Chains A and B, each alone.
Chain A
Amino acid sequence: MNLTLKIWRQKDSSSKGQMVDYKVTEISEHMSFLEMMDVLNEQLVAKGEDPVAFDHDCREGICGMCSMYINGEAHGPDRGITTCQLHMRMFKEGDIITIEPFRAAAFPVIKDLVVDRTAFERIQQAGGYISVNTSGNTQDANSIPISKHAADEAMDAATCIGCGACVATCKNSSAMLFVGAKVSQYALLPQGQVEAADRVKNMVAQMDLEGFGNCTNTGACEIECPKGISLDNIARMNRELMKANI
C-alpha cells in the first residue's frame, strides 16, 4: 500500500520541531509498523537525508523501548500491543498516518520520535526493589507461602514494561499507572512488606519531583497500556501511601 506519513522531526532537545510529510510506497500489510519505518529510513538514507530517529530494541513486545503516538494513540490504534507488534494491516491504502513522540514535560524529546524516559528509572531507583541479602544463605523464595490470588495480582502488576504509554496517553501526563504497578508488585507479596512504607513514600515523592501530573481517573491509561495494567494498581498505591502516612 501507499501511505502519507506526517512525522514529528526535531534535530535535538534544544531545537524546535515540526511535522514533516513523507510518502512511502509498496508497504506490505504483513510488515510491522517499525518495519514500515525502516523502509522509510532506507528511502531517506538513499536520498542522502537524515533518517527518522525512533526507539526500538527487542521488537517482540517485551522491552518497552518502542514508543510513538500514532494517529492520536500511544502505540497506535490496536489494543494490548507495543508499536513493534502493530501491523500495517491495521491501515489501508492511501491513509495519512500521524506519528509523534510520547508527549510529557517529564519526557523531553531527544531527537525526532525518541524521548528521554529516564524519569521512570529514577522512580524505580527511589524504591522499586527489595533489599535481600544475597551473600549465599538466601532463603528460597518458594518457601514462603503466597496465595494464588496475591501471586497472580503481583505478577499482573509486574508485567509492566515501563514503556510510558500511560504517561503519553494521560491528559495530565500522570505516571500513576506505572508507579502503581511498581508499588503493587511488591505490596502484594510478603517479601515487599518490610520496606513497604518507605517504598511508596519515596517513589511517589520522586514521581512528583519529575514533574508528572495528577491522575484524574479517566482510565485512558489502562486502555492504552500494552500489558493491560489495571487502574486497581493506582487505587492500591493510594491505599499504600495513606497507610504509610497514618
Chain B
Amino acid sequence: MSGFFKSSIGRKVAMALSAFFLMFFLIIHLAVNITSLFSENLFNELSHFMGTNPLVQFALQPVLLFGVIFHFVMGFILELKNKKANGVSYARNNGAANSTWISRNMIYSGLVILAFLVLHFADFWVHEINVKYVNVQPEDPTRYYHELVEKFVPIWRVVAYVVSFVLLGLHLAHGFTSAFQSMGSTAGRKKALQNIGKAYSIIIPLGFIIIAIFHHLNH
C-alpha cells in the first residue's frame, strides 16, 4: 500500500482525499459562521463548544491542520513534478481551446487561498491560542461574536476576504469534480457530480462573502 501512494495515481488519490476532508470542513465552518447573521447567542454557543470541546480541540483540530498543510505541500510537489515532465515549452500554446483557465491554474488560486489562510490564522487562530494558552484570559463564552464583528470593520480585510473567496470558488469549481474523478468516479455519476460541484463552489464562498459584508455593514 505504501508503494501505491508513491505512484502518480496514489498522489492524486491522496490529494483528492485531503480535498474531500477540507470540503467537508468548509461545510461545518460555514454552518457555524452563518448563525452569526441571525443569532449572536447561537453563534457564541457553537463557537464556545468548538473552542472548548476536547474532541474538537485535540483530535479534529490537529487533523484539520495536517489536512491543510498536506494539501498545500502535495499540491506544490505535484506542480514541481509536472513542470519537470514538461520539457521545452511551446512557442505557441492554445490552452483555452481545450480546457478552462482555472483547471490549468489551480496552483495560483491555491496560492491566493494560502495567503488568505495566513491572514485568517493571524486573525482568529493565533488570537485564540494566545487567549487560551499564552496570555491566558478568563473564560468568556460570549467573546466570539464581538471578535468576529470587530475583524470585519476595516474595509481592506473585507475586500481581501471577498477576493480570496472568489478564488476559492473558482478553485472548488474545478477541484470538486476533479477530486471525484481522481477517486475513480464512474461515468454515470458525472452529470450529477458536475451539478453538485457547481452548486457547492457557489454556495460555500458566497456564504462566507455574505458574512464578511454583513458584519462590515452592521457593526
The reply to whether chain A is a binding partner of chain B is: yes
| Interface residue? B35 (CB, 8 A) | no
Partner among A100, A107, A224, A238 whose Cβ is within 8 Å of the Cβ of B12:
A238
- In the complex, what distance in Å separates the CA atom of A41 from the CA atom of B97? 29
Interface residues as binary, B83-117 with A (CB distance below 8 Å gives 1, 0 otherwise):
01111111111110111100110100000000000
Per-residue interface assignment for chain A, residues 122 to 152, with 1 indicating a CB less than 8 Å from any chain B CB and 0 otherwise? 0000000000000000000000000000000
Contact call B99/A204, Cβ cutoff below 8 A: no
Cross-chain contact A217 with B100 (CB below 8 angstroms): no
Contacts of B100 in A (CB 8 A): 218
Binds B, one of A23-31, A69-77, A81-89: A69-77
By a CB distance below 8 angstroms, the chain A residues around B90 are 69, 72, 100, 103
A218 and B82 contacting across the interface, CB-CB below 8 Å: no
Interface 1/0s, chain B 180-203, versus A by CB < 8 A?
011111110010000000000000
Q: With contacts A73-B97, A103-B87, A169-B98 known, is A238 near B78, CB below 8 A?
A: no
**Given the interface contacts A217-B177, A219-B99, does A72 sit within 8 Å of B86 by beta carbon?**
no
List 7 A-B pairs, minimum CB-CB distance, nearest first: A72-B94, A213-B85, A239-B184, A172-B82, A223-B98, A105-B87, A238-B184
- Interface size class on chain B is 35 or more
In the complex with contacts A100-B90, A232-B187, A238-B182, A204-B7 CB distance below 8 A:
yes
Q: A63: which B residues are within 8 A, CB to CB?
A: none
A238 engages B9 (CB within 8 Å): yes
Interface contacts beyond A220-B99, A230-B187, A242-B4: sample of 10 additional A-B pairs, CB < 8 Å, sorted by A: A6-B91, A77-B97, A105-B85, A106-B87, A108-B87, A173-B86, A217-B174, A219-B98, A238-B13, A238-B182
Cα-based distance from A77 to B93 in the complex (angstroms): 11
State whether A105 touches B84 (Cβ < 8 A): yes
CA distance A49 to B174 in the complex (A): 49
A sample of 22 inter-chain contacts (CB < 8 A) reads A71-B94, A77-B97, A98-B91, A100-B90, A103-B90, A105-B85, A172-B86, A204-B9, A205-B7, A213-B8, A215-B8, A216-B78, A216-B103, A216-B178, A217-B177, A218-B100, A220-B98, A223-B97, A224-B98, A235-B185, A236-B184, A242-B184
- C-alpha spacing A235/B193, complex, angstroms: 14
Please, which residues of chain A bring their CB within 8 A of the CB of B186? 232, 235
Q: How distant is the Cα of A242 from the Cα of B1 in the complex, in angstroms?
A: 9
Residues in chain B within 8 A of chain A (CB atoms): 1, 3-4, 7-13, 78, 81-82, 84-95, 97-100, 103-104, 106, 174, 177-178, 181-187, 190
Nearest neighbor of A241 in chain B, beta-carbon distance: B9
Q: Is the CB of A218 within 8 A of B184?
A: no
A241/B95 contact (C-beta < 8 A), A173-B85, A217-B177 known: no
**Interface membership of A231, Cβ < 8 A:** yes
A77 to B92, CA, bound (A): 13
Q: Which B residues are in CB contact (< 8 Å) with A215?
A: 8, 12, 182
**What chain B residues lie within 8 Å of A207 (beta carbons)?**
8
Asked if A33 lies at the interface with its beta carbon under 8 angstroms from chain B, I say no
Contact of A223 among B9, B84, B92, B99 (CB under 8 A): B99
Known: A173-B86, A211-B85, A235-B186. A220 touches B95 (CB 8 A): yes
From B87, B89, B99, contact of A218 by CB (8 A): B99
Q: Does A34 contact B (CB under 8 A)?
A: no
A220 to B103 CA separation, bound complex (whole angstroms):
10
A57 to chain B, nearest CB (A): 24
Residues of A close to B12: CB separation below 8 A: 214-215, 238
Question: What B residues does A223 contact at CB under 8 A?
Answer: 97-99
Q: Which residues of B contact A204 (CB under 8 A)?
A: 7-9
Closest to B187 in A: A232
Which residue in chain B gives the minimum CB-CB distance to A104?
B87
Residues in chain B near residue A220, CB distance under 8 A: 95, 98-99, 104
Q: Is the CB of B91 within 8 A of A19?
A: yes
Contact present for B86 and A217 (CB under 8 Å): no
Q: Say if the beta carbon of A186 comes within 8 Å of chain B.
A: no
**Any B CB within 8 A of the CB of A14:** no
Instruction: Give Cα A103 to B86, complex, Å.
Output: 7
Q: How far is the CA of A109 from the CA of B4 in the complex (A)?
A: 31
A59 adjacent to chain B (CB < 8 Å): no
